[in-house]
Amino acid sequence: MYINRASGYPDYNSNSATPTGFIPQLYEGKVIERLYEEQLITRLTTTEYSGQIKGKGDSVVIAKAPPVDIVDYVIGQDLNPTHPTETAVIMTVDQAKAFFITVDDIDQYESHLDMMNIFADEAAKSMADVIDKEFFTWLASSDISADNQGLTAGAKSHAYNLGVTGTPLVINADNALQTILAAAAVLDEQNVPRNDRWIVIPAFWAYFLKDSDLKRANEMGDSKSVVRTSDKSVGMIDSMEVFVSNNLHVATGEFTVPFGDKKAIGYVNQITKTTMGSLEKQFANYIKGLSVFGYEVLDNKRHGKIICSTS
């Protein structure tokens, strides 16, 4: 059976000039999955403020602990009072992503597949992928301490070359491991706690790691081999959990590789909503999804970046 379609409405039938396989004559009862990056934003940021913003409002004001002046003291000395202050961080919900999918009742009836669930699952993965990609682009130009980037990084030693735009650090098997250790040292010099640290590297860097000095599994902290997991986490190097992503910001062949700890950046998700129903003017079902969110740097000393390339 083949029913005529309104202009512009997709044709899922096998008789279509560009068949999709959703309404075949008789085909395999599974679909070929699209490939997506695993979402990393929630693994790199703190989400502890989401609960406050879900209730009401489009922003949350986060107070920061101010520095306190310490002075020398001698007996009988008068002390002048100080008033510790620090500018608060305002996290704003200023981004939204959505999808809206419809499937005609006839298409769904004739299909051997659960089209709505397949489309909904793919939409959710696509949304996560888009959010991550935009997050890494934002992160590349976000507020970062001058001591955590550049050719002379390091708040105390200024001894680490992390590359700059136009003069990127060329990553190879000789320095793939050492550069991750340098990023850890940069955080050490800022007194960043050694727990919950991370770095996100591109795939070519992970390849060089396997051919680097990192040949003994005990340098990863366990008995398994390096660059081994399927969830984008390479494992631990020094204090850093190493992730691999294809969503990092790239400009003119230069990759911006971020590193830090989970307290550096806050992520709030105000609404994650999925609705299903029937279209009023068609014999069709729909599913639509909405995600409303925002992120902000909480402490620019707790994260940094490396500008790198392969040549």
Helices (H) and strands (E) in the chain — how many of each? 6, 12
- pLDDT at res. 205: 95
Is the pTM value of this prediction over 0.85? no
- pLDDT at res. 56: 53
By residue count, the chain amounts to 311
- pLDDT at res. 154: 98
- pLDDT at res. 114: 84
CA torsion sign for 115, 118, 122, 124 is positive
- pLDDT at res. 184: 98
Exposed e or buried b for every residue in 159-181, given b needs 16+ CB within 10 A?
A: ebbbbeeeebbebeeebbbebbe
DSSP 167-205: BPEEP-TTTHHHHHHHHHHHHHHTT--SSSEEEEE-HHH
Distances (CA, A) of 187 to 44, 176, 197, 198, 240: 15, 18, 9, 11, 10
Determine the Cα–Cα distance for residues 304 and 162; give it in Å rounded to an integer. Answer: 9
Exposed e or buried b for every residue in 199-233, given b needs 16+ CB within 10 A?
A: bbbbebbbbbbeebebeeeeebeeeeebbeeeebb
DSSP 260: E
DSSP 280: S
- pLDDT at res. 115: 84
Domains of the chain as residue ranges with CATH: 38-65+84-311 (3.90.1690)
CA neighbor of 235 nearest in space, from 254, 265, 210: 210
- In the numeric block, which tokens belong to residue 292? 């409303």
- pLDDT at res. 81: 86
Exposed e or buried b for every residue in 45-62, given b needs 16+ CB within 10 A?
A: bbeebbeebeeeeeebee
* Adjacent-strand bridge partners of 102: 286
Which residues, including other chains, have CB under 8 Å from residue 41's CB and lie 6 or more apart? 131, 132, 135, 267, 295
First-residue to last-residue Cα distance in the chain: 58
Distances (CA, A) of 299 to 111, 187, 197, 262, 263: 52, 12, 14, 10, 7
Other CB atoms within a 10 A radius of the CB of residue 254 amount to 19
Which value, in Å, is the radius of gyration of the alpha carbons in the chain? Answer: 25
- Whether 196 and 260 have beta carbons less than 8 Å apart is answered as no
Q: What share of the chain is helix, strand, coil (3-state, %, to 5)?
A: 25, 30, 50
Other CB atoms within a 10 A radius of the CB of residue 85 amount to 9
pLDDT along the chain (311 residues), means of 10: 65 57 46 68 90 68 80 88 82 90 86 83 89 96 98 98 98 95 98 96 92 54 48 86 96 97 92 86 90 93 97 86
- In the numeric block, which tokens belong to residue 82? 């100080």
